[in-house]
Structure 1
Amino acid sequence: MAPFRLSGLDPTPFAPLFALPDAELARRNMVRMFADSDSGYPCRVSLEDAAIGDELLLLPFEHLPEASPYRSSGPVFVRRHAKQRVLAPGEVPPYVTRRMISLRVYDTTHRMIDAHVLEGPEVAACMTQAFAHPHAAYMHLHNARRGCFSCRVDRAS
């Protein structure tokens, strides 16, 4: 069994945001968008690219909220009615393999202990190798070109 599992964000906190008017979204630094292509709008809940016409929100998301020098947030896309996706151990979706990825490895104190920038097809092997490090607790994937948070990677149980 592969030592890793990717998971999407919980959609619960995002669902009520879709009911807000665009002016209120703007006040919160969020934007409503509709996908105009089948790539370029990666949903962080479903871990797949939105289809043409899908409604999304582009919003700031604190992906590392813990007390750490690496505490950070960044932009994410979330599709309306997206279901949280938790992949099978070792599964890496096309959402990841089609992109250049920044892989960041954290320890239990939420400090970065390793990092790599690689093409999507190389991600699975790199995650497997990274979890061989005795202090690796979890990883974050980011889209390297735009810097957006992609998803969290945990050890498969």
Structure 2
Amino acid sequence: MPSYQLVGLQPDEFEPLFLLTDADLKARGITRHKADSFPGYPCRISLEDAREGEELLLLPFEHHRTESPYRAAGPIYVRRGQSARSLPPGEVPPYVTRRVISLRAYDEDGLMLEADVVPGTSVADRLEAMFASDLVAYVHLHNAKQGCYSCLARRVA
């Protein structure tokens, strides 16, 4: 049985932002976009790339809220009207497999234990290897080229 599950962000904190004016968004460091290619606009809620013409927000997001030195934030895209996605254990979607991915494994205290950069097609094997250690509590995936947060891999029993 797979040892991990990929999980998207909860939409609740993002959905109200779509109602703001572009000026209000700019004041918060957020920009509104329409996807003009596919793939290219990875939504961190649905764990899918936006289709051409879909509305997204590009915003700063604290993806590693921890009291460790590894606290981190960076830019993410989110699409309007998406539901949070939890994939079946062991499933790695095209959103991940079509990119080069950086994996960062953390313990319960938010301290990094291990990191690697692999083609997206190798993510499943690396996650299994990382979660083989009982010390690994969770793994963050990042799009390696741009460095932005992609999603969370959590341990499943």
Alpha-carbon distance between aligned partners in 2 of 1:121 and 1:82, rounded to the nearest angstrom? 25
Partner of residue 114, structure 1: 114
% identical aligned pairs: 55
In structure 1, the residue corresponding to 2:13 is in which secondary structure? Answer: coil
Q: Which residue of 1 is the match for residue 47 of structure 2?
A: 47
Q: 1:83 Cα deviation (Å)?
A: 1.0
Q: What is aligned with 2:21? A: 21
Distance 1:93 1:47 in 2: 7
Three-state SS of the structure 2 residue aligned to 1:140 is strand
Distance of 1:65 and 1:130 partners within structure 2: 21
SS at match of 2:77: strand
1:85 aligns with 2:88: no
Q: Which residue of the partner structure matches residue 37 of structure 1? A: 37
Instruction: State how many pairs are aligned.
Output: 157
Cα distance in structure 2, aligned partners of 1:138 and 1:106 = 6
Deviation at 1:38, TM superposition (A): 1.3
- The residue type paired with residue 17 of structure 1 is L
Query: What's the secondary structure of 2:142's corresponding residue?
Result: strand
Unaligned runs of at least 5 residues, structure 2: none
Which whole-Å CA distance do the structure 1 matches of 2:115 and 2:7 have between them? 19
Aligned residue identity for 1:91: E
CA drift of 1:134 comes to 2.3
TM-score (norm 2): 0.99
Question: Which letter does structure 2 place at the counterpart of 1:86?
Answer: S
The CA distance in 1 between the partners of 2:119 and 2:24, in whole Å, is 37
Q: Stretches of 4+ moved more than 3 A in 1?
A: none
Residue 104 of structure 2 aligns with an amino acid whose one-letter code is R
**Deviations 1:3-28 (Å, cap 9, x if unpaired)?**
00000000000000000000110110
